Amino acid sequence: MGTLEWILIFLACAVFLIVAWNLEEIKRSLHSLLWWKLDLTELDKQINQYNTLSIIKSTRGQSFLLLIFSSCFTILSILFSDLPNIDFVEVFLSLLLGYFIYRGHQWAMMSAMIFWTVEKLYPLYEVYEALINFSDSNSEGLIMYLIWWALYMHIFYLAFNVERLRDSKREGIPPKFAIPTQGGH
């Protein structure tokens, strides 16, 4: 394994630890793969402690950190692999969305969910096409793409719902959409 692979593995482990740092039990981290399920106690904590949670503990901060990690990963891949320089546009968009997410903009959170999904669909399409044509493919990477997609989506979606519920509480109106929850634990 080369130096780049070790650096990327280290960065992936660091991001996982940052995200997992707030999780009270392993069971809850597995529920992150079900990104549309939200923990009501976590939602309440995020709303009630909105201004006091650190960047590592707030979902908007975690979203920003995940986008920074993704940007660092992309930059390293551009510098040490065969990614084209045009991918610096992806880095710029990720960092821009991350900034606006951290500032609490719902449109940025929704855009990040769309951007992240589209970004992960293309490699999945390549794997699918290779499997159909019986050519050599990176099909083992398929599961990793899905796991990373689900983990990022969970944090983006939780941050989006925190902002949405904060707005509805501030304006005294009920939320527009039902929130799928997994209960208090």
Q: What is the pLDDT of residues 8-29, one digit of tens each?
A: 666 666 666 665 555 554 445 4
What are the pLDDT digits (tens) for 93-131? 999 999 999 999 999 999 999 998 888 777 766 666 666
So what's the pLDDT on residue 2?
Answer: 59
Of all helices (H) and strands (E), which one includes residue 40? Answer: helix 40-48
| pLDDT at residue 50 greater than cutoff 60 | yes
pLDDT digits (tens, 9 = 90+) for 78-93: 888 877 888 899 999 9
Residues forming beta bridges with residue 133, ordered by sequence position: none
Q: What is the mean pLDDT of the chain?
A: 77
Above 80 in pLDDT, residue 161?
A: yes
Q: Tokens for 137, please give them.
A: 């493919």
pTM, two decimals, is 0.72
Rounded to 5°, the CA angle 56-44-184 comes to: 100
